Amino acid sequence: MKRTNFFISAELRAQANRKAEELGISFSELVRLALEAYLSGSQPEDPLFDFDQVYRHATPSDLSQTFKGVIES
């Protein structure tokens, strides 16, 4: 590993420290993971964007017009 120095605001550092603690990893590991994710173009795993978690059934092609019947079933 190559040691790297950079400047961030105190608030950003505090947020990152809290997140790292929440995940049980070091601040440095959090920065590495975030930088790798950013550079690879990957998106965070957010259930809002995981459409298989939102609705897992076959949907009609006119869902935008018939959504009430689908939601109520």
pTM over 0.75: no
- The pLDDT assigned to 22 comes to 94
Three-state secondary structure call for residue 65: helix
- Is the per-residue pLDDT at 10 higher than 70? yes
Confidence band of 6 (pLDDT split at 50, 70, 90):
very high
Q: What is the domain partition of the chain in residue ranges?
A: 10-58
CB atoms within 10 A of CB 52: 7
pLDDT in tens, 16-58: 999 999 999 999 999 999 999 888 886 666 665 565 555 566 6
Helices 27-40, 10-23: inter-axial angle, 10-degree rounding: 100
CA distances from 58 to 30, 50, 53, 55, 62 (A): 38, 16, 13, 9, 12
Find the mean pLDDT for residues 49-68.
63
Yes or no: say if 20 and 31 are a contact pair by the CB < 8 Å rule: no
- The pLDDT assigned to 41 comes to 81
